[in-house]
């Protein structure tokens, strides 16, 4: 998964040798999570899910974005409860 961390769903990531279901699911989840954490911190749940929708099928796995859309409140709940680098 680590070696495919920058691959994108549409195959335009780096190094660009994998696309769609060929990208390990761990890499797909990690990439979406990284972007969603930052987007949520900057603009909240609405901005994060809007970003995911815009990039679904291009950068992000369509099925993972659908899960985020359906369960966003649960996924983002408590994200701000503790500092990311705190105890």
**Chain centre to alpha carbon of residue 4:** 14
Query: pLDDT tens, position by position, for the chain (87 residues)?
Result: 888 999 999 999 999 899 999 999 999 999 999 999 999 999 999 999 999 999 999 999 999 999 999 999 999 997 776 665 665
Cα–Cα distance measured from residue 4 to residue 27, given in angstroms and rounded to the nearest whole number: 6
């Amino acid at each position: 998964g680590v070696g495919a961390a920058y691959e994108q769903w549409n195959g335009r990531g780096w190094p660009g040798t994998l696309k769609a279901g060929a990208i390990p699911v761990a890499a797909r989840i990690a990439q979406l999570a990284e972007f969603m954490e930052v987007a949520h911190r900057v603009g909240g749940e609405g901005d994060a899910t809007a970003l995911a929708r815009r990039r679904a099928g291009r950068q992000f796995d369509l099925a993972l974005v659908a899960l985020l859309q359906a369960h966003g409140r649960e996924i983002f709940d408590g994200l701000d409860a503790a500092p990311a680098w705190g105890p």
